Structure 1
Amino acid sequence: MINIAAPTHEVQRFDVFIKAFRKHLANLFNARYDYNALSLKRGLPPSFLSEIMDMQPLAVAIPENFGGRGMHVRECLQVLSAASYESLSLSLIFGINIALFLEPFAKYGHVGMKEQVFNKFLEHKAMGGLMITEPNYGSDALNMQTCYTELEAGYRIKGEKHWQGLTGEADFWLVAARRKNEQGELVRDIDFFLTDNACAEQQIEVKQRFNSLGLYAIPYGLNHIDVEVPMTHRLNPESTGLKLMLDTLHRSRLQFPGMGMGFIKRLLDESLRHCKERQVAGLRLYEMDAVQFQLSRIQAAYTLCSAMCSYGAAVSSIEQDVSGNGIDANSVKALVTDLMHESAQMALQLSGANGYRLDHLAGRAVVDSRPFQIFEGSNEMLYTQVAESVAKLMRKHKEQNLLRFLKTYTLTAQAVPYFAKSLDFTFPEQPKKRDLLTLGRIIARVICFQMAVVLQDAGFNRELVAITQKHVEMDLEMFVGQLHANNDAVALMDYEEQASWADFV
């Protein structure tokens, strides 16, 4: 049992731990095991994962009074980064456990359950996850059909969930469901319940395992839920369950850059090394101007991700209510995952033919980073929500010019002077959805560049921020150009009439 009076983490400072953890992972992935071979197989070998968990990395997301390191976001993000430098899949496993189970459970879980659950994570290498998404209601969580009814001593929960990371492997789940009232109707609000797979009546059946395109280390599938849980397994929202869900999802999105940080750094390190060593027509790759553009763009991604990590560490602890942080949380999640995939694409291109292998770092990075732009809110949806939220604020302040508004907006005021020319235009009164998406991409970049400005003021490398400014400015000009193009093309659903080229030759 954990001695709560003398937490085990006190014997090792975090700076010592994280250095040892990085070394431990590097040894496991590059010396002890052939990770290139492992990356082509579904799941991680139990012995491999067990050796990773020997160092209790998830202790960073467990409160001190339960034997953990204290749930400091700065430390959580560094653990995610250390993992993603070696494996994006491993980092996502940690991210699911930290942001989608341990943090919400620590904040909203029943006090009587915490010692038992946290002890299993520390002493028995337990895993946990979150179940929201359903087969017919992906991003439409408010209409989920998983329901619960009250019993004399607890709750009965029934429904189906899919695409949960760690399907069939997590020991604990937080399951989202709507209450079924006496008339058999589902109420609007959402509640969350803890399930423990060690209890027969709480076991969730896996009906199907999916052959996911990437992230082979993480099992996904379709889950059938018909469980009974005691009263103590219901999470306790501070107001509504919907607000609890937003608080959880926004906190997770604000911590996505932890997974992006090590991933982008690894791509940058490997790309720089390759471009220094590789020669073409008597020139090293890094001496070519087009290659310099790509390398500098990955460095801009590294800089923005660093800034987002700093911002997330400051604003996303469980003591802070982030249910209202939709604009910054959605901006961070959407942009960092776009940067991750773009960096992977450029690293693959720089690697040449060798990169076009699934067991090559760059090839695997392209496939593994792609779903990050889709899960936990597709980027198109999140960018659109950013633009809609800003438009609402602008109407409230009776302002139509984007530049003038962003000069006064807390999340952008410090970044606006760098891009004043690009941002000086009238926000459309009734923009098309495609234009809202473009506007969201513009606003998200200004918001996240401000994070880089703040980090620069704290002493971060000014040359990297200057490089980043150039790339952000280029992006803004491109997106503003898209807005001005007024592209209103729509697809022909029945397109085949007079559309076979061979008929006209």
Structure 2
Amino acid sequence: MTITNISFSEFIKDFEQTLKHLFHEKEDINKLSLERGLPSSMMKDILSAQPLSVAIPEQYGGRGSKVKECLGILAAASYESLPLSLTFGINIALFLEPVSKYAEESVRQGIFTRFLENQNMGGLMITEPDYGSDALNMKTSNTEVENGYHIKGTKHWQGLTGLADYWIIASRQKATNGELGRDIDFFLADNTVKKQQVVVEELYDNLGLYMIPYGLNKLDLEVPKNFKLQPETTGIKMMLDILHRSRMQFPGMGMGFIKRMLDEALTHCQNRIVGTGNLLELDQIQFQISRIQAAYTICSAMCARSSKISGIEHNLAVEGLEANAMKSVVTDLMQESSQILVQLSGAKGYRISNIGGRGIMDSRPFQIFEGSNEMLYAQIADMVTRMMKKQKETHLFDFLKGFSLTAEACLHFKNELSFSFVSNFSQRKLIDLGRVLGRVISVGYVLDLEQRGFRKDLIDNCVVMVKQEITALMASFNSDNEVKVVNDYTENSSWMAFV
């Protein structure tokens, strides 16, 4: 029986059992997570279960690029190992899906065959040392040559540095006068071919995600003409489509991770006896674990929404609002869930070999890469306020109740959201407002999931917890805070002089 003929429930069960055997019987995941990289034999065993087949179209031997299955694989992996899930996320959202959608037909079959038969992996190169989130000003260039394109530049912080067999590389076309074009071009590179090899100049000592190598990459390579990705309109819109689809898959990575934090917290608090009862009987413990449970509910709803709207058949270039909301909110929830587990676990949790302590470090960069959450929240608020201005609407609640993504959810927060504004906000206010809007949009997903039959007690608890958070965020938004940094702070500021 081929992988395409196996039901997904059976496929995912087999994969979960494979991970359980490899991480808990054959090896110790807690020890593996403290080492740089993953042993090649271990990765080969993991990939032999063909988890990446979920992102390969059926005509090329895969399971069909169904978002539900992609998110399911990410969740199964992140329950055991967040770095492993991110490895899959890089391969799926930043390589295989772009190849399926934008690569020329003449190169797809060879790439997909190597992924299915030879356990190959691929990644995406956008970020440069001097141009992080400012991708439009990247300096990596491409020039057309006789047999293809010459690509020259420097990239860094690419996940799977030195490990990927293929790369998708972003660059700008270089004119004869040396100037770089405004649009972005993307090219495939096969690292097994000498002319296409990426030179790793340095491997970084990343603070978390030890399994994944990151580093500094030097590019001076030549790729064939048919290795250029073909955008539907412009390269910039292709980049937005790729990045927005990737952000909409963050809930898959968050799903298994948050569920693991929740399961660990419940198990610990049920078994930890304090006085005459266990920890779970304490009111504050109930509150803290309810926070993780609310995160579990929100993440579940995001997965359902993403499964509906983020397939490669959709162009997501203009779907920045939902993409930003999913990525920023779910990664905040991942970090908070790991922090809560460590707090509940006491000294036991404050060990890097503990899933909670390790989870703090492994989930933290998720709030930074693919757009820092502060930047994304500011963009969310900016998008909404622009729509309000276009409609000549100044009252936030009145706008939200007429906006499809928030129409039902905002009714739960009418008191908090009933205010008008006409002036421009400072950046810090935009970020506060973006945090609020991201959570209102998320509750919209939760209420939609309720209509599909998701258990109501989790839904109700989630809405209460989010309401409390929005109340606190609105207090911050409404506070008069224009504090500026005091640059010359050392003068007259030593406490010893005043004692």
The one-letter code of the counterpart of 1:429 is S
Aligned mates of 1:461, 1:278 — CA distance in 2: 28
Aligned mates of 1:366, 1:486 — CA distance in 2: 32
Task: Compute the displacement of 1:493 (Å).
Answer: 1.3
Write the mapping of 1:146-157 to structure 2, written as runs, cut at 5 A. 146-157=140-151
Cα RMSD (Å) of the superposition?
0.8
Partner of 1:141: 135
Aligned mates of 1:86, 1:192 — CA distance in 2: 33
List per-residue Cα deviations over 1:161-186 (Å, max 9, x = no partner).
00000000000000000001122101
2:53–2:116: 8 Å Cα contact kept in structure 1? yes
Aligned mates of 1:381, 1:103 — CA distance in 2: 25
Aligned mates of 1:404, 1:43 — CA distance in 2: 51
Task: Compute the displacement of 1:30 (Å).
Answer: 1.3
The yes-or-no answer on 1:381 pairing with 2:391 is no
The yes-or-no answer on 1:397 pairing with 2:391 is yes
Query: Which stretches in structure 2 are left out of the alignment for 5+ residues?
Result: none
- TM-score of the superposed pair, with normalisation by structure 2: 0.99
The one-letter code of the counterpart of 1:173 is W
The one-letter code of the counterpart of 1:44 is L
2:4–2:62: 8 Å Cα contact kept in structure 1? no
- Greater mean deviation of Cα atoms: 369-378 or 483-492: 483-492
Task: Compute the displacement of 1:27 (Å).
Answer: 1.7
Write the mapping of 1:51-62 to structure 2, written as runs, cut at 5 A. 51-62=45-56
Task: Compute the displacement of 1:344 (Å).
Answer: 0.3
List per-residue Cα deviations over 1:196-237 (Å, max 9, x = no partner).
011100000000000000000000000000000010000000
2:466 counterpart (452, 466, 472) = 472
The yes-or-no answer on 1:498 pairing with 2:492 is yes
3-state DSSP class of the match of 1:408? coil
Task: Compute the displacement of 1:119 (Å).
Answer: 0.3
Aligned mates of 1:301, 1:188 — CA distance in 2: 40
The one-letter code of the counterpart of 2:325 is S
List per-residue Cα deviations over 1:250-302 (Å, max 9, x = no partner).
00001100000000001100100110000112221000001000000000000
- Greater mean deviation of Cα atoms: 138-147 or 415-424: 415-424
Task: Compute the displacement of 1:428 (Å).
Answer: 5.1
Partner of 1:10: 4
Partner of 1:319: 313
Partner of 2:244: 250
Partner of 1:110: 104
Aligned mates of 1:474, 1:487 — CA distance in 2: 21
Partner of 1:371: 365
The yes-or-no answer on 1:406 pairing with 2:400 is yes
The one-letter code of the counterpart of 1:196 is D
The yes-or-no answer on 1:484 pairing with 2:459 is no
Task: Compute the displacement of 1:414 (Å).
Answer: 1.5
The yes-or-no answer on 1:124 pairing with 2:107 is no
- Greater mean deviation of Cα atoms: 424-433 or 329-338: 424-433
Query: Which stretches in structure 1 are left out of the alignment for 5+ residues?
Result: 1-6
List per-residue Cα deviations over 1:301-336 (Å, max 9, x = no partner).
000000000000000000001110000100000000
The one-letter code of the counterpart of 1:425 is F
Write the mapping of 1:301-340 to structure 2, written as runs, cut at 5 A. 301-340=295-334
Structure 1 residues 387, 335: closer, same or farther in 2, change over 3 A? same
Aligned mates of 2:81, 2:193 — CA distance in 1: 32
3-state DSSP class of the match of 2:313? coil
Aligned mates of 1:428, 1:451 — CA distance in 2: 29
Aligned mates of 2:193, 2:257 — CA distance in 1: 37
The yes-or-no answer on 1:226 pairing with 2:220 is yes
2:4–2:61: 8 Å Cα contact kept in structure 1? no
What is the aligned-residue identity percentage?
A: 54
Aligned mates of 2:91, 2:263 — CA distance in 1: 28
Task: Compute the displacement of 1:14 (Å).
Answer: 1.3
1:202 counterpart (169, 180, 196) = 196
3-state DSSP class of the match of 1:276? helix
2:90–2:122: 8 Å Cα contact kept in structure 1? yes
Partner of 2:348: 354
Aligned mates of 1:150, 1:44 — CA distance in 2: 38
Moved over 6 A (4+): none
Task: Compute the displacement of 1:120 (Å).
Answer: 0.4
- TM-score of the superposed pair, with normalisation by structure 1: 0.98
Q: How many residues in Structure 1 have an aligned counterpart in Structure 2?
A: 499
